[in-house]
Amino acid sequence: MKLMKTISESLIIQIILTIPIYLFYALILGVSLLPSLKIISWSFSAYAIAGKWFLFSFFTGCSVFVFYLSSVLVMGLSIRVLSLGIKAGRYPEQSFTVLRWLVYSGIYTMMTKLVLPVVPMSFFSNLFFYLVGCKLGKNVRLNSYTLNDSFLLTLEDGVVIGGGSDISCHLYEDGHLILQPVVIKENTVIGAHCYIAPGVVIGRNSLIGLGCYIRQGKILPDNTRLTKVGSVSMSVAQRLEKGKL
């Protein structure tokens, strides 16, 4: 704890530590790029032999999709290893756990910038979150990639996550990182642009409407129907619209 406090209070030490962390990120990215670079090197040879731009372009295009797969494998497994042993709880910012959280969050940020936005609702996306540690049921459809700390996330069979929705298993308050699991049960649909806070449990066969905010620790029963109006039920929202409340 004393060491972490010293690090957090020293700008010079933080700068020095940033260098090996970014070198580590460079290594992770480089390993992810390795298969693609190999394919491109083959394309140079093929181009020299065939003399056709089409063949070169085809190999280059293939290398992009190979990068998607290799980065899913390399970065997903890297995040899983770095998060091993981290459990739900409350951790002071000057702790080794928070340092690990920051490091694997940096890898996750690379994925959210380079790969995940272009492969929604696909094998690539589901494989990444499975490797990270998300408990994925059958026929889960992910049209969003902002599933933070998803080794604490459970998505049961038939769950659909709408585009732009943010499910977070962490928050920061009073100088502490708070990690809590989120559980979304069978056949539940989360509409686009929703925010699901840490500690939320949503029951089976539920429908969370467009743009809803579900606050921390909220437990919703099976067959819940919510609308954006303060996350009240749809029946209450209809009464509000008719001026009966």
- The phi-psi region of residue 228 (left if phi > 0; otherwise alpha if psi is between -120 and 50; otherwise beta) is alpha
Helix, strand, coil abundance in the chain, percent, nearest 5: 50, 20, 30
pTM, to two decimals:
0.83
Alpha carbons 134 and 218: distance in angstroms, whole number:
20
Model confidence pLDDT, tens digit, residues 20-49: 888 888 999 899 988 888 887 877 665 555
- List, in sequence order, every beta strand (DSSP E) within 131-221: 135-136, 141-142, 146-148, 153-155, 160-161, 166-168, 170-173, 176-179, 182-184, 189-190, 195-196, 201-202, 207-208, 213-214, 219-220
Please give the mean pLDDT across all residues of the chain.
86
Q: Which band of pLDDT confidence, cut at 50, 70 and 90, is reported for residue 168?
A: very high
CATH 3.40.50.2300 assigned to 134-229: no
Alpha carbons 63 and 69: distance in angstroms, whole number:
10
Q: How many CA atoms lie within 13 A of 42 on its CB side?
A: 13
Model confidence pLDDT, tens digit, residues 84-128: 999 999 999 888 899 899 999 999 999 999 999 999 899 999 999
For CATH 2.160.10.10, the residue range(s) in the chain are 134-229
Instruction: Work out the percent of the chain whose per-residue pLDDT is above 70.
Output: 83
Model confidence pLDDT, tens digit, residues 143-154: 999 999 999 999
Residue 14 has pLDDT above 70, yes or no: no
Are the CB atoms for 101 and 187 separated by under 8 Å? Answer: no
Residue 230 has pLDDT above 90, yes or no: no
